[in-house]
Amino acid sequence: MTRIGIIGSGHIGGNIARFLAHGGHDVVVSFSQDQGKLDALADAALEQAGGADALAGKAVLDTTNQFGQVGGRFGVLDLGGKSAAETNAAKAPRAAWVKAFNTLTAGFQASSSGRTGPGRVVMFYATNADAAAPAAEALISDAGFDAVRTGTLARTDVGHQEPKGDLYGEEFHHDDAIAAVRRLRGTIPAGTGRP
Ligand X SMILES: NC(=O)c1ccc[n+]([C@@H]2O[C@H](COP(=O)([O-])OP(=O)(O)OC[C@H]3O[C@@H](n4cnc5c(N)ncnc54)[C@H](OP(=O)(O)O)[C@@H]3O)[C@@H](O)[C@H]2O)c1
Residues near ligand X, by CB under 6 A: 7-13, 30, 32-33, 38, 41, 44-45, 48, 63-65, 67, 102, 105-106
Closer residue to ligand X (CB): 8 or 151: 8
Give Cα separations from 109 to 22, 38, 122 (angstroms). Answer: 15, 27, 10
Closer residue to ligand X (CB): 67 or 130: 67
Closer residue to ligand X (CB): 32 or 69: 32
Provide the sign of the torsion angle of the four alpha carbons 131, 57, 77, 74, taken in this order. positive
Which residue number places its CB atom closest to ligand X? 10
Minimum distance, C-beta of residue 55 to ligand X, in the bound complex (Å)? 14
Minimum distance, C-beta of residue 50 to ligand X, in the bound complex (Å)? 13
Minimum distance, C-beta of residue 100 to ligand X, in the bound complex (Å)? 10
Closer residue to ligand X (CB): 48 or 141: 48
